[in-house]
Structure 1
Amino acid sequence: MHLHVANHPLIDHKVTVLRDASTPSPTFRLLVDELVTLLAYEATRNVRVVDHEVTTPLTVTMGTKIASPAPIIVPILRAGLGMLDGMTRLLPSAEVGFLGLKRDEETLKAITYANRLPEDLSGRQVFVLDPMLATGGSLIAAIEYVLERGATDVTCVCLLAAPEGIENVRKAVGDRADVSVVVACVDEKLNEVGYIVPGLGDAGDRLYGVV
């Protein structure tokens, strides 16, 4: 597993505002959207392309275009939905699948409640969106889902990560596939109930309210 921590003043600024408990949901959603676009720039650095001939106003030249089959973006419901627009803005040709996972607050393990993914992901680059890499349970479950369907190139985009979660993902993935994790910041630790510290709270609740 490869870990990439994006290092940019704008990213640091947006993360700081997201952490602020007084930041209202509309502002929080806007900042997440902007932050994911910045992270997507890093996450798509190795997106597959092919040569493509194009006619300019002056001549014919060679450029590149996104290779086929198209990449697929997989937001983990529900909080991952808040990251989808920021990712598709930079990668509009990608397809979108959905994976619904929630955390059992007692065992901290991921429970699957929805799955809208192609049965065959062979040859597809997969981008998994999950705001918080805490214990790693949800992200590991998502990675396992796409690997079982034939994916071999998986990039996970997260806003924040805990060292414990990163290590759990690293152990679970091993060297079975090319898996990368792109994050805005690695925080200090997990607390006794599995939340990232200092963190920013429950990303889903701050995006959409408590339900």
Structure 2
Amino acid sequence: MRLHVADHPLIAHKLTVLRDVTTPSPVFRQLTEELVTLLAYEATREIRTEQVEIDTPIARTTGVALAEPRPIVVPILRAGLGMLEGMTRLLPTAEVGFLGLQRNEETLQAFTYANRLPDSLSGRQCYVLDPMLATGGTLVAAIEYLFERGAQDVTAVCLLAAPEGLRLVQDSIGDRADVQIVTASVDERLNEKGYIIPGLGDAGDRLYGVVD
């Protein structure tokens, strides 16, 4: 597993506003999209390309285009949906899949309740979107699910990560495949309820409101 913490003043600024408890949902959603686009720029540094011949208005030249098969973006429902627009703004030609994972608040274990993914992900670069890498259980379950379908190149884009979650991903995934975590910050720790400290609260609730 590789970890990349994006170090940029705009990322730090937007993250600070997201953390603020007084930031309303509409502003939170907009800043999440903007922050994800900045993180996506870092996450796609190793995206596969191929050379192509094109004609400019002046002359013929060689450029690059995204290679086939197309990358796939996989938001984890429901909070990951708030990151989708920011990611596809940078990768408009990417295919989009969906993975529904929910954490049991008592056991902190993740279970799958929905998926919309190709049967085979062999040869595909996969970009998983999940705002919070807290205990790590949800992300590990998502990555394992992608592995089962043949994926070997997975990048997770997270707004925040906790050391405990990063350790679990490292211990669970090891070096079985190329997995990268791209995040705006690695925070201090988890509290007794499995929330990131200082964190930004429940990302899903702050994006969409509380669902009873």
TM-score range, shorter chain: over 0.9
Q: For residues 7-29 of structure 1, what are the alpha-carbon distances to aligned partners after superposition, in whole Å with 9 as ceiling and x for unaligned? A: 00000001100000010000000
| Amino acid in the other structure paired with 1:189 | R
Q: For residues 96-118 of structure 1, what are the alpha-carbon distances to aligned partners after superposition, in whole Å with 9 as ceiling and x for unaligned? A: 00000111000000011111111
Aligned to 1:31: 31
- 1:127 paired to 2:153: no
- 1:96 paired to 2:96: yes
Kindly report which structure 2 residues correspond to 1:47-62, keeping only aligned pairs within 5 A, or say none.
Answer: 47-62=47-62
Q: CA RMSD in A?
A: 0.4
Aligned to 1:109: 109
| Amino acid in the other structure paired with 1:183 | T
Query: Structure 2 stretches of 5 or more lacking a match?
Result: none
Aligned to 2:75: 75
Aligned to 2:189: 189
Kindly report which structure 2 residues correspond to 1:172-211, keeping only aligned pairs within 5 A, or say none.
Answer: 172-211=172-211
| Amino acid in the other structure paired with 1:196 | I
Q: For residues 83-141 of structure 1, what are the alpha-carbon distances to aligned partners after superposition, in whole Å with 9 as ceiling and x for unaligned? A: 00000000111000000011100000001111111110000000000000000011001
Query: Structure 1 stretches of 5 or more lacking a match?
Result: none
| Amino acid in the other structure paired with 2:179 | V
Aligned to 2:159: 159
The number of residues matched between the two structures is: 211
Percent of aligned pairs sharing the same letter: 73
> Residues of 1 paired with 2:183 and 2:81: CA distance?
17
Which structure 1 residue ranges, 4+ long, deviate > 4 Å from structure 2?
none
| Amino acid in the other structure paired with 2:37 | T
> Residues of 1 paired with 2:171 and 2:155: CA distance?
16
| Amino acid in the other structure paired with 1:64 | V
Q: For residues 18-44 of structure 1, what are the alpha-carbon distances to aligned partners after superposition, in whole Å with 9 as ceiling and x for unaligned? A: 000010000000000000000000000
Q: For residues 66-94 of structure 1, what are the alpha-carbon distances to aligned partners after superposition, in whole Å with 9 as ceiling and x for unaligned? A: 00000000000000000000000001110
